[in-house]
Amino acid sequence: MATLREELEKLLELQEIDNNLRDISVLLKELPEQIRKVENQDISLQKELEEFKKTFTHLKIERRQKETELKAIEDQIKNFQTKLYEVKTNKEYQALQVEIRNLKQKSSSLEDEILVHMEKEELLKEKEKDILKRIEEHKKIKIEKQKELEGKINQLEQKRNDLLKKREEHVSDIDKLILELYMRIKKSKKDGIAICRVTKDSSGCICSGCYVYIPGHLVEKVKRKTEAVQCENCGRILSE
């Protein structure tokens, strides 16, 4: 039968394996989150593109309306200009001239507005190119990042499987009662630490699990190794 000293050493080794397993499971939770983040960036770029397309379409419709309006005014001007030759009185002639002048002013300001619209559309086309370029770039980055993260996940899963196998073998070699104690403490601790070494400073011995000083009689018990000793403060198993 193994001595208590040996059992405690085995527990410390088990603790090491369990710590590794815990670190791996933390990473395995974080990595899919990172993949989702990369995918979300994709979604936000697509949204930006959709918003942009809406603005662009709206602008185009506005311009077409203005162009239709302009065409109608130009037709009207032509119509009035033909009429100029048909009027009989000077008064009618002058009235038509005023109408034509007004219409020409309107058409000129409409032309200006249409030009402004066309300039805006040009600018937007540049912006569209920029968004599309960003989407393309992001696609590449996404694929690479996904590959990288999936690779990491596979590696970690492999490592976890290896560790679990190692743990199984290791556990079968540990005294049942002391293993049960270890498992019970491990479950109750947030950090999963069930066994820790006693450390020393100038004032005495300290539990490295909760950093509280250990009374002298307990330190003696730890040294004797006739029974498993637990820290009076945190309950963790103490080892020299």
Which of residues 194, 206, 207, 228 is near Zn ion by CB under 5 A? 207
CB of 226 to Zn ion, least distance (A): 20
Cβ neighbour number for residue 48 with a 10 Å cutoff: 14
Contact 109, 76 (CB under 8 A): no
Contact 142, 42 (CB under 8 A): yes
Looking at the Cβ atoms of 73 and 207, the one nearer to Zn ion is 207
Looking at the Cβ atoms of 153 and 210, the one nearer to Zn ion is 210
Contact call for residue 209 and Zn ion (CB under 5 A): yes
Contact call for residue 199 and Zn ion (CB under 5 A): no
Write out the DSSP string of 67-131.
HHHHHHHHHHHHHHHHHTTT--SHHHHHHHHHHHHHHHHHHHHHHHHHHHHHHHHHHHHHHHHHH
Which of residues 12, 49, 210, 221 is near Zn ion by CB under 5 A? 210
Token digits of residue 22: 């815990």
- Enumerate residues 21-80 that contact Zn ion by CB under 5 A: none
Token digits of residue 132: 């599309």
Contact call for residue 198 and Zn ion (CB under 5 A): no
Helix axes 4-83, 176-188, angle to 10 degrees: 30
Determine the straight-line distance between the first and last CA of the chain, rounded to whole angstroms: 20
Amino acid at 134: R
CB of 225 to Zn ion, least distance (A): 18
Which of residues 70, 229, 231, 237 is near Zn ion by CB under 5 A? 231
CB of 214 to Zn ion, least distance (A): 8
Contact call for residue 218 and Zn ion (CB under 5 A): no
Contact call for residue 237 and Zn ion (CB under 5 A): no
- Using alpha carbons only, give the angle 101, 80, 89 rounded to the nearest 5 degrees: 95
Phi-psi region of 174 (alpha: psi -120 to 50; beta: other; left: phi over 0): beta
Q: Which stretch binds Zn ion (CB under 5 A): 52-60, 113-121, 178-186, 223-231?
A: 223-231
Which of residues 16, 32, 233, 240 is near Zn ion by CB under 5 A? 233
Looking at the Cβ atoms of 57 and 233, the one nearer to Zn ion is 233
Q: Which residues bind Zn ion (CB under 5 A)?
A: 207, 209-210, 231, 233-234
